[in-house]
Amino acid sequence: MATGAKTFSTISGIDVAPVYTADDVALDYVRDLGDPGAFPYSRGIYETMYRGRLWTMRQFAGFGTAEETNARFRYLLDHGQTGLSTAFDMPTLMGYDSDHPRALGEVGREGVAIASLEDMATLFDGIPLGEVSTSMTINSPAAIVLAFYVCVAERQGVPRSELRGTVQTDILKEYIAQKEWIFPPEPSMRLVTDMIEWCTRELPRMHPISISGYHIREAGSTAAQELAFTLANGFAYVEWALARGLHVDEFAPRLSFFFNAHLDFFEEIAKYRAARRIWARELRSRYGAQDERSLRLRFHTQTAGVSLTAQQPEVNIVRTALEALAAVLGGTQSLHTNSFDEALALPTEDAVRLALRTQQVIAHETGVVNAADPLGGSYFLESLTNELERQAYDYFARIDELGGVLAAIEDNFFQREIAEASFRYQQEVEAGERVIVGVNRFTVDEDDQPPLLKIDPALERKQVERVRALRGRRETRAVEAALARLKEDAARPDRNLLPAIVDAAKADVTLGEMCDALREVWGVWRETPVF
Amino acid sequence: MAGRVRVVIAKVGLDGHDRGAKVIARALRDAGMEVIYTGLHQTPEQVVETAIQEDADAIGISILSGAHMTLVPRIVDLLRERGAGDVLVVVGGTIPSDDVGELKRLGVAEVFTPGAPTRDIVAFLQSRVAA
């Protein structure tokens, strides 16, 4: 039976030959691959890879108020998860408190609502922050949420030097793809750089940023675009931190990345390998990094949300398993596997446990963890790795011609490239050139819908009341003083904003109030929409 | 002969997932319709204002934030209040099937969920909006 494809190409449209031989790949082993743990880290950033330590199994979770999410966190830790990952709701991500008119109907829907230090303390109640590593997926208000976290740790008596985790903080990909922004690019980059600088000094085990291709891919990019745009953003952060006066080896060891694991198996593995090679080479040659930890590209992976189908949703279990396998064969440091019901709603507890079990099967039953980079040397894989690298450098050149990442954002360059790729893919699907099982082939008439997680609308009211009660009982004068200082520091680019944010958090200033203060000083970003 | 079908594609709510909205906007434009894309983070008031200003035949609301049961009925109500109840309202996004029935009962003409082919959406609008 034919596959249905007229031509043979990867999901991103790279042509694939019938077979690959030594003639297709010119490789210098030491220059292009290196052993695992050795420059340029194409084969992995550690010598022993998963023999030394498995990847961190980190399921992204958050819904309702801090209490519901705290219970989900404890459930995941009880079932063998090894790190926490926090999803915030849309108002929090956009810098609105739960009682803001724009938050109506959105509170706790796509993540947990966190408006204050008090909410954050509830979120991590009973979870010793010195013992877990916590990822926080938030960007525009990242500094504020980090300040809440640091204050909760302080209350628990955990020193800053022991805090481990990652704050996403990657504002550039927001303008490019995920579109959850507040401020214009320039002040946003200043705030990101403040975070990198402050974490370098104060939180030596925290990753202040997770430079993310995931959302770029979900927005419809190709694998090469995900690779190129993410690394280009990474270089931009490095350049801002250097301009701040930091030395590359002071902060680069704490930069981390986040990639998508899509369905095209070999293309994904090639993407991770190419990413490591490019990063190591550029950090050394372009930015003068010497510390090996600066050269090692560490990354988290999430399986592709866009690959999940609402039709025959149990098939998503299979898709996710294959994507997760690609991430592991590509040498990821941590992994989130999507739950099969996520094209329909936020996942139920049972669905999340199954997704976690998928990782555990890969780790403990399949044997793929025994040898590092087990596919290295495959003619096909090495050829794809080279091709993705070549396409990435083509994009770097185009971005440079436009004047760099910020200029390219203002020019809508990335947004247009992604819209073009996603429309092309959609057309291929609708023409039947790309098969999606259960959607355009192998369909059934009637789907059984699994039980879905329902977010109780009463939670929104409960959260709104919590925020209002907090406003009623805190010390108004301290709040006003903290906000005045925040505005003053925001207007002075020579100051690091984090100390003012930490003090505001301690005075029970809310996330929305801090964002409003910054909006007042910096203004807000408006995109010119293109399609 | 009447003009081309005019459709406002609107992203309401706070989520930034605009992939679907953009694909639909382009597919409708390629099918010969006049498409006005609002851009992101619109309030129901802004969407209705745009639809009235643009003399739209239909509004396509894209929402993936889970706030559809709050924001979509608000748009339907506002259209009626402003005498534009004849504007066809369709919704696209991650909408659980229980909510689909409720939205239709409230006056939404159709709800398209993940995997809906753009040609079905084009055909639906062409059949329901006589240009």
Q: Does B32 score more than 50 pLDDT?
A: yes
Q: Are residues A333 and A473 in the same domain?
A: no
If asked whether residues A309 and A356 sit together in one domain, one would say: yes
The residue of chain B nearest to residue A343, with distances taken between CA atoms, is B94
Q: Final residue of a domain: which of A392, A409, A430?
A: A430
Note whether A484 and A396 are same-domain residues: no
Query: In this predicted complex, what is the ipTM?
Result: 0.89
* B28 neighbourhood in chain A, CB within 8 Å: none
Task: Tally the domains of chain A.
Answer: 2
- Which pLDDT score, from 0 to 100, does residue B131 have? 54
pLDDT tens track for B93-117: 988 888 999 999 999 999 998 888 9
Q: A210 and A155 share a domain? A: yes
Q: pLDDT-derived band of residue A83, with 50, 70 and 90 as boundaries?
A: confident
B18 Cβ under 8 Å from any chain A Cβ: yes
In chain B the domains, ranked by start, together with CATH numbers, are 6-125 (3.40.50.280)
Contact between chains at B26 and A423 (C-beta distance less than 8 A): yes
**How far is Cα A37 from Cα A435, in angstroms, rounded to an integer?**
38
Return the pLDDT at A449.
83
Q: Is residue A60 located within the same domain as residue A99? A: yes
Residue of A449, A455, A526 with shortest CB distance to B97: A449
- Would you tell me how many other CB atoms lie within 10 Å of the CB of residue B105? 8
Q: Are residues A162 and A286 in the same domain?
A: yes
Residues A210 and A252 in one domain: yes
Predicted TM-score (pTM) above 0.90: yes
Residue A5 lies in a domain: no
> Would A10 be classed as within a structural domain?
no
Q: Domain limits at A471?
A: 460-511
Q: Does A479 touch chain B (CB under 8 A)?
A: no
Report the gap between the CA of A311 and the closest CA in chain B (Å).
8
Burial A385-413 (b: 16+ CB within 10 A, else e): bbbbbebbeebbeebeeeeebbebbeebb
Give the integer Cα–Cα distance in Å for A497 and A477.
Answer: 21
In chain B, which residue's Cα lies nearest the Cα of A105? Answer: B67
A29: contact with B, CB 8 A cutoff: no
A475 inside domain: yes
- CB within 8 Å: A345 and B94: yes
Is A529 at the interface with chain B, CB within 8 A?
A: yes
Report the CATH number that the domain containing residue A188 is assigned in CATH.
Answer: 3.20.20.240
Residue A384 resides in a domain? yes
| pLDDT in the model for residue A7 | 74
Query: Chain B residues with CB inside 8 Å of A531's CB?
Result: 9, 21-22, 25-26, 29, 35, 37
**Domain contains A199:** yes
Same domain, A466 and A330: no
Verify that A128 and A225 share a domain, yes or no.
Answer: yes
A91-111 b/e with 16+ CB inside 10 Å = b? bbbbbbbbbbebbbbbbbbbb
Residue of A311, A418, A426, A429 to mutate for B, most B C-beta atoms under 10 A: A426
Q: Taking CB atoms and an 8 Å cutoff, what residues of chain A touch B97?
A: 449
Residues A227 and A155 in one domain: yes
Using the beta-carbon criterion (under 8 Å), do B37 and A90 form an inter-chain contact? no
Q: In what order do the strands lie in the sheet with A60-61?
A: A60-61, A84-87, A133-137, A164-167, A206-207
Query: Is residue A258 a part of any domain in this protein?
Result: yes
Query: pLDDT tens digits, residue range A318-374?
Result: 999 999 999 999 999 999 999 999 988 889 999 999 999 999 999 999 999 999 999
Write down the pLDDT at residue A5: 52
What is the 8-class DSSP label of residue A51?
G
Mean pLDDT of A284-308: 97
Q: A318 lies in a domain?
A: yes
The runs of H, that is alpha helices, within A297-443 are 315-329, 349-364, 379-402, 405-410, 413-430
d(C-alpha A518, C-alpha A483), whole Å: 9
Contact between chains at A430 and B117 (C-beta distance less than 8 A): yes
The predicted-structure confidence for A125-179, as pLDDT tens digits, reads as follows 999 999 999 999 999 999 999 999 999 999 999 999 999 999 999 999 999 999 9
Q: What strands lie across the sheet with B110-112, from one edge to the other?
A: B34-37, B6-11, B58-63, B88-93, B110-112
The 3-state DSSP class for residue A264 equals coil
Q: Looking at the complex, does the CB of residue B45 fall below 8 Å from at least one CB of chain A?
A: no
Chain B partners within 8 Å of A220 (Cβ): 19, 23
**Is A453 contained in some domain?**
no
Task: Label residue A369 exposed, middle or buried (CB < 10 Å: 0-12, 13-18, 19+).
Answer: middle
Q: According to the model, what pLDDT value does residue A6 have?
A: 60
Residue numbers in B near A311 (CB within 8 A): 115
DSSP A447: P
| Nearest chain A Cα distance for residue B131, angstroms | 23
Contact state of B115 with A310 under an 8 Å Cβ cutoff = yes
What is the model's pLDDT at position A1? Answer: 45
- B16 and A345: CB-CB below 8 Å? no
